[in-house]
Structure 1
């Protein structure tokens, strides 16, 4: 497995709609494995393919061991409810944080690494992480949704709560 370089903003690749995945092979499995290793090394909870220079509809999310790793290929939102404002950051924007409003429940449909379709539901922070990564696949960056930016000092206050 390899650690992949993170594409940092500004970069046109981060603002392009990604292409659908049609081939489910060893190359895709290796990309998913490498994305996972990269996300863990960078201390992230999610990573989308364009963030490692690949313009495909692929993203992974892992907020904790309990939820496990969610690999999403060609994901689609099929339902969402509620709204919540919380702080987000992004590996492509190191040191930048802001408050973003998102649904606090989401139901998605996606394919796994073998091409099998599945559905998944998530609430709260897990839903937020999924929607953040799915936005990347449409070239939408969290900075376009920020209500208010948070400085490092205020962020530390949030983490202590």
Structure 2
């Protein structure tokens, strides 16, 4: 298992844009496994490559429910429908949450690990996860979009 360190709020890499992936090779396959292992080591539902210090356009989302995990290369939102406030947190900013306006529904395209074109139509939590992780690829954190950010109160 290759669990990587998740970069924390304030790290300059999180504010940089990622590069497009041009092909799937052994290095990318290994990296994809590291991304999955790192997410599964914690409690989050999504992780973007920059969060573990790699400036490549790769995201991994697993809502940990009935939906299948999604690893997406060069993801792009091609359509946004509606808007709603949502509460978001981030593995790179533990202990905090924020109120962010996100689309209710998105259509996302990208490449699979088999280098096949894929398209997802997502609503609710999956739509928010796509928006959050794809923002990471452009150096945008949820705190940049938040109306309000607050510390999570610890339960006694």
> Structures share a fold, TM > 0.5?
yes
Residue equivalent to 2:45? 45
> Is 1:103 matched with 2:100?
no
List, as ranges, runs of 4+ consecutive aligned residues in structure 1 with deviation greater than 6 Å: none
Correspondence list, 1:130-145, <5 A: 130-145=130-145
- Quote the offset at 1:81 in angstroms: 0.2
| CA deviation profile, 1:14-41 (whole Å, cap 9, x unmatched) | 0111000012012211111111111111
Kindly report the root-mean-square deviation, in angstroms, between the aligned alpha carbons of the 2 structures: 1.4
Q: Which runs of 5+ in 2 are unaligned?
A: none
Q: Secondary structure at the match of 2:21?
A: coil
Summarize the alignment of residues 12-51 of structure 1 with structure 2, pairs less than 5 Å apart: 12-51=12-51
Unpaired runs of 5+ residues, structure 1, are 157-161
Alignment size in residue pairs:
155
Alignment of 1:60-79 (within 5 A): 60-79=60-79
Q: How far does residue 115 in structure 1 lie from its aligned partner after superposition?
A: 1.4
C-alpha displacement of 1:96: 1.2
CA distance in 1, matches of 2:142, 2:69: 22
Moved more, 25-34 or 50-59: 25-34
**Match of 2:129, SS?**
helix
Aligned counterpart, 2:152: 152
Partner of 2:125: 125
